[in-house]
Every structure is written in C-alpha cells, then in structure tokens.
Amino acid sequence: MKNNIKLIFLFLLFPSIAAADAAENWQLGFQDPATPIMEGIINLHHDLMFFICVISVFVSWMLFRTLWHFGQGQNPTPSTLTHGTLIEIIWTITPAFILLTIAIPSFSLLYAMDEIVSPAITVKTLGHQWYWSYEYSDYSNENGESVVYDSYMVPEEDLEIGQLRLLEVDNRMVIPTNTHVRVIVTAADVLHSWAIPSLGVKCDAIPGRLNQTSLFVKREGLYYGQCSEICGINHGFMPIVIEVVPLADYVSWLYNKLNE
C-alpha cells in the first residue's frame, strides 16, 4: 500500500514513467535495479565513468596542446628527440595503477555474480525457436507431475490496452521476493540467451549444456527481458517476463499450477 502511494506521486510528478521494469523509448541509462547484482553493476559503471572522464579530459588536453605547440606554424624546426626514460616509466606505471584500482571492485563484482547462495528454489528455463519454457522440478503433485509450461509472446493483435508490444508473454515465470533462486538455463535447439536488464542477468542458453545463474529479487514487480542471442527469424519475438510476488502468493500460484 505504501508503495502504491509512492507510485501515485511518481506518476503525478513524471507522467511518462512506466510501472513495469521494461525498456523505454530513447532510453540511454540503466533500468531500475531490483537485485543486489544489478545495483553492483550500476555502481561499477559509475566508478568506471570517473576514470573514463579524467582520462578522456587529460588525453584530449594533451593532444590539442601538442597539435598547438608543435605544429609547423609554431615550431618549424622539429626536435630530434626520440625517447625519454623517465616519461616512459611514468606513462607505463600510471595506467597500470589505474587498471589495478579498477580491477579490485571489478573482480569482487564478477565473483559475486558467479556465487550461487544455497538456493531455496530452482527454476529451469529452456530456450526454443522461438519461445521459452519453464520447469519447476522441485515440486510434484500426486501424479508425479511437476510444473512445466511454455511462455510465448503475445502477438500485437492480441495485446490489451497498456500491454507492451513485443514484450508481453502468455505465461510468465513466477518467483517470490527476497528468496535465493537458482536458474538453470539451457536450450533445446540453437543458442539463445536469457536476459533481464533490471535483474542484472544475461545467461547463454546452450543446447546440451546447463548454465547456472542466481537471482535475489528485492521488490515485487514485472520484469521484462528479451532473448539476447541471435537465434533465427523470430529472435526478436521471444521475450521474457518475470512476475515477482510475495512468498505466500508464490505458494498459492504453485498450488494452482500443480493441481491444474
């Protein structure tokens, strides 16, 4: 409820804001993060931007200064100087130190992304030409069936008002908030890639191979992603939608799915 009031204020302040975590027209920056990993990625990006800005300003300043002072107009007789040991040491050591400084947060993020924290739920996602399917094999009903279903894009002519073109699916993947989820990603035919920007996930789906990634989603919502590996003619028409709900809602969704 508190979140709804916050959202209403946001809509009043920024009429163009979308409630869904999806790409928007002319987007330049990141989507809002919903996992600690995506927060980490955005922070690393900002850290790197500092170095990139300082280096670009310094290099451009040096370049234009050189062109100005050593052009034929200013400096008709060129110098015969070919090297200087001190300056060469400086311009080798300094970038090396900058790289070391960048490496520390970069590696810690890289290993954090790789970490699978004893998962409470495992979901298997399979890429097909051209749809995704999801398997929740942690659970089964009296007949021994687990939850397995396909997730197709909603075609343009079937969209309802407010639904996102090329992003909506008929059956979403459902997971609970604040839970360590392991996602096993693979493909049935060709390479696909399971990617959701707000969750900081992009995992290759490879036939004959199981890839593993983890999710810990901090807030409820609808998270939109797309297949991110060219996989054929309908590559652009196999989106991913994840519905993140409170644990109790997840359990009742699961109950209904098992007893369908």
153 binds ligand CUA (CB under 6 A): no
Q: Which is nearer to ligand CUA, 154 or 231 (CB)?
A: 231
SS3 207: strand
Q: Are 175 and 215 in contact (CB under 8 A)?
A: yes
Window 114 to 133, contacts with ligand CUA (CB under 6 A)? 127, 130
189 binds ligand CUA (CB under 6 A): no
Candidate residues 229, 243, 249, 254; the one interacting with ligand CUA per rule CB under 6 A:
229
Q: Which is nearer to ligand CUA, 187 or 250 (CB)?
A: 187
**Strand ranges inside the chain, DSSP E:** 121-128, 131-136, 147-151, 173-176, 181-187, 192-196, 201-205, 211-215, 221-227, 240-245
196 binds ligand CUA (CB under 6 A): no
Candidate residues 124, 172, 182, 192; the one interacting with ligand CUA per rule CB under 6 A:
192
Q: Please name the amino acid found at residue 3.
A: N
* Residues near ligand CUA (CB under 6 A), total: 9
240 binds ligand CUA (CB under 6 A): no
Straight-line distance from the first to the last Cα atom of the chain, in angstroms, rounded to the nearest whole number: 31
Q: Are 207 and 147 in contact (CB under 8 A)?
A: no
Contact segment (CB under 6 A) with ligand CUA among 39-47, 59-67, 165-173, 224-232 equals 224-232
Q: Which is nearer to ligand CUA, 59 or 188 (CB)?
A: 188
Alpha-carbon span 233 to 216, nearest angstrom: 33
235 binds ligand CUA (CB under 6 A): yes
Cα dihedral 155, 167, 126, 233, rounded to 10, equals 60
Residues found near ligand CUA in the complex (CB under 6 A): 127, 130, 192, 227, 229-231, 235, 238
